[in-house]
Structure 1
C-alpha cells in the first residue's frame, strides 16, 4: 500500500501532474497522469493506493494520452474513422486503447464519416475540377463506406457536374491548327474521364464544343498534319500508294474524308 505524498504540475505541460508516493519511510516519484484522470479518480495528497490501483491509473492515463493525441490530430481538419485509427496505429497505440478512444470520439460526435464526405465534396467542388467518380474513389480510400459516399453525393448534383466539366473543357479546348477537331475532342473527353466524370456528363459537357468547330482551323490542322505525313511517306512510297498512305493517316487523325480528298488532290498537284 502506498500513500500520495504530494502532487505537482509538470513545468512543460500544465494539464499533466506528477504523483509522488511514500511507503511510510521515504518519498519517491510514482507516475504521471492527465488532468482528467486526476479528477475522475479524485487523487489528492494522503490518498492511499494499492499496486492494482496504480496499474489501473497508468493504463487509464495511457488511454487519456491516446485520446488527446487523436484530438490534436482532429484539430487541423475533419478526419474519417479510418484516418484516426491509422494515425493512432502509426503512433503505436495499444489496439485495445484505440477501440476505447474511437468509442469516446464517437460518443462526443467528433467523428462522422457522412459529414466528412459531405464537407469533402463541397470543398473539392469549389477548389478543384474533379468529377464525382474520382471523389468517390478518394473518399473510399479514406475509409468512407460506399453507401455514405452515395448519400453525400447530393452535394454534387448532375447540373453542377455538367457545369464543372464544361468549364474545364472550354478552358482546355485548344484549336492550335495542329490537331483535327475530332482528335482535340477525344483529348478533352479522355481528360474529363481521368478527372472522374461519367460518360453521360462528358457527352453533355462536350456537346457544346461541337458548336465551336472552326473550318479554317480544321483546314490548317489538316495541312499541318498532311504535310508531315506526306514527307514521311514519300521516302517509301510514290504515286497512288503514297496518296492512299497519306489519306489513311489523316483519316485516323480524325479529319473528314472530303477535306482529306481536297488536300491530297491539291498537294499532289503542287508536289508534281
Structure 2
C-alpha cells in the first residue's frame, strides 16, 4: 500500500490531476476518474490499482480524441484508426475505442460511404470511378462501394461539374475549348465517352446549335 500525499490540478490540462504517492509524483489522470474511484489525499492505495486506473484513463483519452475527430464530419473506421495511431495511443485502446464507436453508431463504413458519395455529388461532382477510388483509400470494403457507387448519373454529374468551367472558357475556339474542358473533367474521374458528350453539349449550348461539332 502507498499513501496519497497530494492530488493537484494539472497546469495547462483542464480536468486532469496529478497524483503524488509518499511525496513523489506517480501519475496523471482525469479528475473524474480519481473522484469515481475514491482517490483522496491521505488515503491509501494499491500500486496495482493505480496502474489499472491509468489504463482506464488512457482509454478515456483515446475515446475523447476520437469523438472530437468525428465532431467535424463523419469518418471511416480506417480514418479514425489512423488518427488515433498518430496520437500514439496503444493499439489495444484504439481497437477498444473503435468497438465502442461501432456499437453506438458513431463509426459506420456503409453510412460513411453514402455520406461521401452524396457530398461529392452535391458540392464537388466527380466520376464514379474517382469516388470509388477515394472510398477505397479510406478503407471502405469493395462490396460496400459497389452498393453505393454506380455510373448511372455520371453524365449529369459531369455536366454540373463542367458548366462553370465552360463559362470561363467561352472565348476559346472549339479545339482549345474541348481540350481544356476535357482535361478538367478527366482530372475529376470521368470517362472519355462521358467527357465527349458533355463537351459537345456545352459547346452546342454556347453556340445555340444542336449540331454535332466533333468533326470540327
**TM tier, shorter chain?**
0.7 to 0.9
User: 1:102-149 CA distances to partner (integer Å, 9 max, x unpaired)?
Assistant: 222223332222222222222222221312221111111011222222
Pairwise mapping of residues 2-17 of structure 1 onto structure 2 (< 5 A)? 2-17=2-17
Partner of 2:210: none
Pairwise mapping of residues 135-146 of structure 1 onto structure 2 (< 5 A)? 135-146=131-142
CA distance in 1, matches of 2:90, 2:5: 31
CA distance in 1, matches of 2:39, 2:103: 26
**Structure number having the greater helix percentage:** 1
> Structure 2 unaligned runs (5+)?
208-213
Partner of 1:224: none
Partner of 1:226: none
* Cα distance, 1:176–1:19 mapped onto 2, change above 3 Å: closer
CA distance in 2, matches of 1:113, 1:150: 13
How many residue pairs get aligned? The number is 210
Partner of 1:31: 27
Q: Contact 1:81 / 1:111 at 8 angstroms: preserved in 2?
A: yes
Q: Are 1:93 and 2:89 an aligned pair?
A: yes
Pair member with larger Rg: 1
User: 1:145-185 CA distances to partner (integer Å, 9 max, x unpaired)?
Assistant: 2222233348xx834x3322223445537573463xxx865
Shift of 1:82: 0.8
SS at match of 1:133: helix
Q: Contact 2:128 / 2:149 at 8 angstroms: preserved in 1?
A: yes
CA distance in 2, matches of 1:122, 1:141: 17
Partner of 2:160: 167
Pairwise mapping of residues 147-162 of structure 1 onto structure 2 (< 5 A)? 147-153=143-149, 158-159=152-153, 161-162=154-155
Shift of 1:204: 5.8
Alignment RMSD, CA only? 3.6
Partner of 2:72: 76
CA distance in 1, matches of 2:109, 2:36: 30
User: 1:56-86 CA distances to partner (integer Å, 9 max, x unpaired)?
Assistant: 2223322222222323323333221111211
Q: Are 1:122 and 2:115 an aligned pair?
A: no
SS at match of 1:197: coil
> Structure 1 unaligned runs (5+)?
215-253, 257-272
Please, what TM-score do these two structures have when normalized by structure 2? 0.75
SS at match of 2:49: helix
User: 1:178-223 CA distances to partner (integer Å, 9 max, x unpaired)?
Assistant: 63xxx86576556534422356655664574585696xxxxxxxxx
